[in-house]
Structure 1
């Protein structure tokens, strides 16, 4: 079993499921881009129920069998699981078929998993496991206001409504508290060609589509400044005469900078396009225009998740290894060569294909 440094979720409030020994995974694991708690799935091997599939900084999928602050992260490649569970050979053989499929998924965020698990024919124990936690939904309220404001204006006009959570927004729309709001809701149902009694289902679907966009944008907004700080840290290594005289080192640094700039610029452009299309929807409200917006956003879930997951695990490891910045030029170059470069072409390839570059 290897024990490399890898970004993993810190302990936090528990969430279902649980057994006699306590919760099998926490909300932070469920909300993460790079973690898939095995307890979400019908696992046959008892010892695997508390393990997680995680992406390491090289974007390899490994099985994390334990993680705590004292001992770190205990990771093993999937093909070596047999040595850990010698008394459950039959059960492990069943689970390995599933794990082999899961290792090919580029991101473990709930929105990517919804699509990829369905495509792979893998069930989940509870559909709620593929929803963001209440805590994360609360964090995303600010982002969701951008998407729900036009909807609130359609129903409530110019009246300012105070909300603190996404669920409040949806409840407000599903249960209008004024005659005028109810009339507007009827008009909305006519424009959408949705029966009034079906409006709550539409609102839930609308909320979920844009909650996914808010989730990914929140991830992106946190990552872009980190990537920019990392690039400055990396490029500062060229100030060293030793690095500046080495053409291969200089070229490697330039390639990393070019790829990271291209990736972040391209994916930011995709989000700007989503913003434009969602605004167009409110200029031409119809069931067809909503289906088009929904399809546009959902068709990008897997690629956006893959790109953001890749960047997230690399930036997390950089912060873990160099929490205060620093590090001599040689250390920086070696870290970039051994931990940042592996898998970077894969991230770049995902983004290029998704954006049509």
Structure 2
């Protein structure tokens, strides 16, 4: 998954798929150099401003606190500083976190596509999305056969009121929910976007889960199956990391199991309270999922960068566990309280 694909300053986004980085070109910053930079989560899970591909490549990666060491006082106005402060405080840079967090803030956006997934990502999510929406499509269209092969068509089918049979069933649903037909269509369209968000995070989780398994096997080989196996401190470090990563993986799995259950809906009996309950549950899960998955993917990307062939000496492995991987993991576990 190319979650970190780059975006050139000035280009209009087709959408925003990254969970770990954010192009500042999408925001109405007065300073053109800032607009050419990118926000990223570093290995400690802090946000840094990356100028590597900007108009000032010499600056490199810095925190917001270091910003004025590289600019004159008049170069960066209060509005830009306030916008940066809001953006750097986000726990994740996915489009759903952005949309929820920035809605109440008066941050000027140049490119609204920053709040949606790209066409390519929507196409990629089709297998997961079709599994979730299948019961609704079957209820609305009954025995009709559709050669649907992309997510956009699925979303259009959900809000299509033209076929007579579909309109009749939508009217029954509207009556059950005590809403008008236009309001029902609006709700179903919102449901489609909620289902898409579940599919997006689930896809990242599938990749993250695989990377966690690979990382643990690599760490076990480097620490437990080497000359460090008799080193109590090294074994303690490995056990701590293994326990935390295991908890994160299991907790995420449980959350997606829960989302899988609540999105399998009996549409014939669907009512207003059901809509509110499911919407509330999905939205409440988004923040937890985004924070944890962003952190795990950052750790995984850094591991792959430092050890591209999963090599390294036992000592290098131990240093990565203690100095890079372990930092911030406790914050990720706190973002995932146990599910009752």
Whether the TM-score (by the shorter chain) exceeds 0.5 is yes
Work out whether residues 41 and 124 of structure 1, in 8 Å CA contact, stay in contact via their aligned partners in 2: yes
Structure 1 SS opposite 2:60: strand
Partner residue in 1 for 2:37 = 51
**Structure 1 173/101 Cα, relative in aligned 2: closer, same or farther at 3 Å?**
closer
Pairing partner for 2:320 from 335, 349, 353: 335
Partner residue in 1 for 2:246 = 261
Query: 1:65 Cα shift?
Result: 1.2
Partner residue in 2 for 1:65 = 51
The one-character-per-residue Cα deviations of 1:52-74 (angstroms, maximum 9, x if unpaired) are 11101110100011249xx9993
The aligned runs of 1:23-102 (5 Å cut-off) are 23=11, 26-27=13-14, 30-67=16-53, 74-86=60-72, 89=74, 91-102=76-87
The one-character-per-residue Cα deviations of 1:140-169 (angstroms, maximum 9, x if unpaired) are 111111121111111111333221222211
Query: 1:177 Cα shift?
Result: 5.9
Partner residue in 2 for 1:3 = none
Structure 2 SS opposite 1:132: coil
Work out whether residues 256 and 341 of structure 1, in 8 Å CA contact, stay in contact via their aligned partners in 2: yes
Query: 1:107 Cα shift?
Result: 0.5
**Structure 1 67/333 Cα, relative in aligned 2: closer, same or farther at 3 Å?**
farther
The one-character-per-residue Cα deviations of 1:164-196 (angstroms, maximum 9, x if unpaired) are 222211222333564333322322332233322
Work out whether residues 4 and 20 of structure 2, in 8 Å CA contact, stay in contact via their aligned partners in 1: no
Query: 1:115 Cα shift?
Result: 1.7
Structure 1 spans left out of the alignment, 5+ residues: 1-6
**Structure 1 251/72 Cα, relative in aligned 2: closer, same or farther at 3 Å?**
farther
Tell me how far apart the structure 2 counterparts of residues 276 and 107 of structure 1 sit (CA, whole Å). 26
**What's the C-alpha RMSD, in Å, of the aligned pairs?**
2.6
Work out whether residues 47 and 85 of structure 1, in 8 Å CA contact, stay in contact via their aligned partners in 2: no
Deviates more, 1:223-232 or 1:71-80: 71-80
Tell me how far apart the structure 2 counterparts of residues 62 and 215 of structure 1 sit (CA, whole Å). 25
Query: 1:135 Cα shift?
Result: 1.4
The one-character-per-residue Cα deviations of 1:8-32 (angstroms, maximum 9, x if unpaired) are 83447x7xx83xxxx2x7557x210
Tell me how far apart the structure 1 counterparts of residues 13 and 320 of structure 2 sit (CA, whole Å). 31
Tell me how far apart the structure 2 counterparts of residues 224 and 173 of structure 1 sit (CA, whole Å). 31
Deviates more, 1:76-85 or 1:259-268: 76-85
Tell me how far apart the structure 2 counterparts of residues 123 and 320 of structure 1 sit (CA, whole Å). 35
Tell me how far apart the structure 1 counterparts of residues 268 and 141 of structure 2 sit (CA, whole Å). 17
Tell me how far apart the structure 2 counterparts of residues 93 and 73 of structure 1 sit (CA, whole Å). 21
Work out whether residues 174 and 199 of structure 1, in 8 Å CA contact, stay in contact via their aligned partners in 2: no
The aligned runs of 1:118-137 (5 Å cut-off) are 118-137=103-122
Work out whether residues 36 and 51 of structure 2, in 8 Å CA contact, stay in contact via their aligned partners in 1: yes
Deviates more, 1:189-198 or 1:249-258: 189-198
Q: 2:128 matched to 1:143?
A: yes
Query: 1:283 Cα shift?
Result: 6.5
Structure 2 spans left out of the alignment, 5+ residues: none
The aligned length equals 337
Tell me how far apart the structure 2 counterparts of residues 189 and 167 of structure 1 sit (CA, whole Å). 24
Pairing partner for 1:107 from 87, 92, 117: 92
The aligned runs of 1:207-246 (5 Å cut-off) are 207-246=192-231
Structure 2 SS opposite 1:243: coil
